[in-house]
Amino acid sequence: MASEEDCPVWISDDDPFVVVTDPLDGSRNIDSFIPTGTIFGIDNHLVELDHLPKGEKTMLNSFQSGLKLVAVVHVLYSSASILYTSFGLGTHTFTLDHSTGDFILMHPNIKIPPRGQIYSVNDA
């Protein structure tokens, strides 16, 4: 498991996946009531690296190409908790139903319109 906040941590050789995560907009915005979020990238555990020392295999597993991702998740925490997922075949949006604790599929297979008036991208 890896985050920009801490050094990657190797949890187990038996786990099939590696998770990298990052807070969006960070904890500094919570006091300002600005929506915050979290992104997760899920990669396959590279078993061919298991012979390496723990620190080295942790780093190499954590820094895989984005083209190899198994899944990505983005969660937005605001007046509604919204979960965006992609497993490589489309992006789907779920909204948390606070009464049941379930995420309900709200928008299957989201697409960027082929044409629009405004596009906004964080290219950082």
pLDDT digits (tens, 9 = 90+) for 75-84: 988 788 999 9
Which tens digits make up the pLDDT trace of 63-109? 899 889 999 999 988 788 999 999 988 999 999 999 999 999 999 99
pTM for the complete prediction? 0.74
Q: How far apart are CA 104 and CA 98, in angstroms?
A: 10
Instruction: Count CB atoms within 10 A of the CB of residue 100.
Output: 8
Mean pLDDT of 1-9: 72
| Exposure of 40 in the CB half-sphere (CA atoms within 13 A) | 16
- Name the pLDDT band for 44 (thresholds 50, 70, 90): very high
E strand or H helix at 47, and its extent?
Answer: none
Architecture of domain 2-110: 2-Layer Sandwich (3.30)
Contacts of 86 (CB under 8 A, 6+ apart): 71, 72, 92
Q: Which residue matches tokens 């979290």?
A: 38
Phi and psi torsions of 31, nearest 5°: -65, -20
Residue spans of the domains in the chain: they are 2-110
What percent of the chain is predicted at pLDDT more than 90? Answer: 40
pLDDT at 30: 65
